[in-house]
Amino acid sequence: MSANESGRGVPASTGKEPTTGLPEAGAPSDELTRLQQALIDSDERAKSHWEQYLRAVAELDNVRKRAQRDIEAANRYGLEKFAAELLPVKDSLELAVQNAGKADMQSLRDGQQATLQLLSRALEKLGVTVIDPHGEPFDPARHEAMMAQESTTAEPDSVLQVVQPGYELNGRLLRPARVIVSRAPGG
Looking at domain 32-126, its CATH architecture is Alpha-Beta Complex (3.90)
In this prediction, residue 77 carries a pLDDT of 83
Highest mean pLDDT of the ranges 5-14, 20-29, 138-147: 138-147
pLDDT at residue 92 is higher than 70: yes
Average pLDDT on 135-152 reads: 94
Question: CA 159, CA 140: separation in Å to the nearest integer?
Answer: 11
pLDDT at residue 15 is higher than 80: no
pLDDT at residue 101 is higher than 90: no
Sign of CA dihedral 120, 125, 128, 131: positive
Average pLDDT on 135-154 reads: 94
The predicted-structure confidence for 43-66, as pLDDT tens digits, reads as follows: 999 999 999 999 999 999 999 999
Question: CA 164, CA 32: separation in Å to the nearest integer?
Answer: 87
Question: CA 168, CA 142: separation in Å to the nearest integer?
Answer: 9
In this prediction, residue 3 carries a pLDDT of 46
pLDDT at residue 2 is higher than 80: no
Structural domain boundaries of the chain? 32-126, 128-187
CA distances for 36 relative to 24, 27, 57, 157, 165, angstroms: 19, 14, 31, 83, 80
In this prediction, residue 142 carries a pLDDT of 96
pLDDT at residue 90 is higher than 50: yes
3-state DSSP assignment of residue 162: strand
Average pLDDT on 163-173 reads: 94
Q: Does domain 128-187 have CATH number 2.30.22.10?
A: yes
- pTM of this structure: 0.57
Write down the mean pLDDT value for the chain: 86
What is the percent of the chain where pLDDT is above 70? 84
Question: CA 76, CA 124: separation in Å to the nearest integer?
Answer: 20
Question: CA 144, CA 3: separation in Å to the nearest integer?
Answer: 120
